[in-house]
Structure 1
């Protein structure tokens, strides 16, 4: 990842060579909507911040009159691992107006800035998708129920929060993704649903794994679209457990993988495999965020806990930066830098201050 990012920085540095430090030119560059930085781009060389060891990926941004700028982003290390728990004093914010040769650190007294982890506008939905085909029900149901309950305990907050919700689905060989429990913020309700699974829940002993991938991705996409209405921002996680390969042959591996690869980037995909009959490469590709394997049913709870930790860390690695800009006109550049434990990372974006005025809080 570092090599790719270095090449990206080099390319942008060459592209900006003529205009580096010229605010009139800098603000005209469009946003980079792909890659590690999301909707952001590498910071201008005039800041001399150095190589990024932490990656700030802008997920969304908007302005609100009379003068508020809001940027929602996630932070990860160079290996893609989420970085949670950052505090406001670990961030430095730079602003570059049309008449500035380079960026200036914004004044906290004038800008009324704040960094908020998991703001009230943030919504996080998790889909736990369980393989309840005959092989699971007949040999590892008790272990799966224990592992699932532990997953729920670890992912859901200790106190109920409307911004954190989970739904549980299950699949067998039918062309249906069965709902075990609808989306809820109630941990006890989810746990009770898992504990209520019985060996006779399924009537089809086959495994429609690819169908489950496609259907759960569609559900996550719809949930994300619904939960981000009205200037809300959100993320979703799809966690799929199976102990085998697709046997129903209703959908192709290519179709399932395409669904995952083209999904909203704010949807994370995790897979948990059990036993020797799984195809680890398929599960690794589908679980593009992370994939783990339990060699036997006694390891199930540990592997579920490993994934639950990643789901929780990812949810707490999203941050909302808001400030009242002193700018009052035109396109302006904004850079956000985070420094933690001797390493740093930064990202640049821009905003339009036309119509901005005083009175922002």
Structure 2
């Protein structure tokens, strides 16, 4: 009789312990950082560079310093005194473009809402322009998009160019939204392809107050263009205003985020929210440089990021490099700019010697590790 009573109690006790363990695992996983390698390279005498992002869930992790990273080679911790590890400014290797594509069709220019659009766009370009090049283009019902401000690093240049839109009158009052997105992506890539820096990142932000009326390109044609591999690393956001906008259609454009404003008064806030997201995402990039103690052969490298605000939160990435021909540390300067292979976007590099020092750059094996790996 006693066994019969204890048996269900033991069952529920095991269930309770399992539930607690699962809850703890979920909690630990929630603390994990996702560390994603975008590019890496090595070069004689014994320089190693890795360009990566650090995120926690959907949120970028900014402000980490060199001492917040641990470098392991073949599972052995590399001393910070030996590695001389530093965090370089990502701008030495990467360039970032944001294109702002504005709807200036008849429904905007004839409704008296141009001024509020220009005011919001000026604030947006001023904010985003502090960290990357911003170009402004406009579209109406015509086939081609119009250059308002070319991509520039000069703060205030975009703001000055936008003033001309206050008096703009649409030549074709219809809305060629699908075609504008297609042309916008092509123009964004064209601008990035001219850059000589090895790592290139693009963002397209589209504002519209209506659905596509020109029907120059179908919705499926636009989606096919967006899905092309050459744009796979681009981020895309959409801002919509007015009752005519349909959220589902807007999300086809803003695959990384959409903002809806039911009234013109809310346009400024919508632009600010998108600018904030772009600004935060820019801060997730890190360029770690160090001097490896390895002198020959292939080596497995693991870089672990440790969260400042959450002692239990950590994440790591792994790859392999070849140290054949490497020399003594005194010849290595960790502040030397990286020798990444030239890329047209931020896709991971598979193979290549990164400018010397043997073949390396194997694919990422681990993108994140949970805090349960505490030592």
TM class by smaller structure: 0.7 to 0.9
Return the offset for 1:144.
Answer: 0.3
> What is residue 278 of structure 1 aligned with on the other side?
245
> What is residue 257 of structure 1 aligned with on the other side?
223
Classify 1:309/1:93 alpha carbon distance in 2 versus 1 (closer, same or farther; 3 Å): same
Cα distance in 2, alignment partners of residues 77 and 138 from structure 1: 44
Find the residue that maps to 2:110 and give its secondary structure.
helix
> What is residue 176 of structure 1 aligned with on the other side?
144
Match of 1:65 among 44, 69, 72: 44
Cα contact 1:220–1:267 (8 A) shared by 2: no
Cα distance in 2, alignment partners of residues 242 and 68 from structure 1: 48
Find the residue that maps to 2:165 and give its secondary structure.
coil
Classify 1:119/1:187 alpha carbon distance in 2 versus 1 (closer, same or farther; 3 Å): closer
Match of 2:95 among 113, 119, 123: 123
Return the offset for 1:258.
Answer: 2.4
Find the residue that maps to 1:201 and give its secondary structure.
coil
Return the offset for 1:329.
Answer: 2.1
Classify 1:189/1:280 alpha carbon distance in 2 versus 1 (closer, same or farther; 3 Å): same
RMSD: 1.8
User: How many residues were matched structurally?
Assistant: 298
Match of 1:142 among 108, 111, 115: 115
Cα distance in 2, alignment partners of residues 355 and 281 from structure 1: 56
Return the offset for 1:117.
Answer: 4.5
Cα contact 1:117–1:317 (8 A) shared by 2: no
Find the residue that maps to 2:179 and give its secondary structure.
helix
Return the offset for 1:69.
Answer: 1.2
Cα contact 1:67–1:325 (8 A) shared by 2: yes
- Structure 1: gaps spanning 5 or more residues: 1-49, 97-102, 158-162
> What is residue 224 of structure 1 aligned with on the other side?
192
**TM-score, structure 1 as length reference:** 0.78
Cα contact 1:239–1:269 (8 A) shared by 2: yes
Return the offset for 1:87.
Answer: 2.0
Match of 2:233 among 256, 266, 271: 266
Find the residue that maps to 1:254 and give its secondary structure.
helix
1:74 aligns with 2:53: yes
> What is residue 200 of structure 2 aligned with on the other side?
234
After TM superposition, the runs of 4+ consecutive aligned structure 1 residues lying more than 6 A away are none
Cα contact 2:185–2:231 (8 A) shared by 1: no
Q: Deviations over 1:129-169 (max 9, x none)?
A: 10000111122111101100110122122xxxxx7211100
Cα distance in 1, alignment partners of residues 324 and 221 from structure 2: 45
Cα distance in 2, alignment partners of residues 224 and 71 from structure 1: 21
Find the residue that maps to 2:107 and give its secondary structure.
helix
> What is residue 355 of structure 1 aligned with on the other side?
325
Return the offset for 1:116.
Answer: 2.8
Deviates more, 1:165-174 or 1:333-342: 333-342
**TM-score, structure 2 as length reference:** 0.75
Cα distance in 1, alignment partners of residues 39 and 146 from structure 2: 33
> What is residue 282 of structure 2 aligned with on the other side?
315
Cα contact 1:117–1:316 (8 A) shared by 2: no
Cα contact 1:125–1:235 (8 A) shared by 2: yes
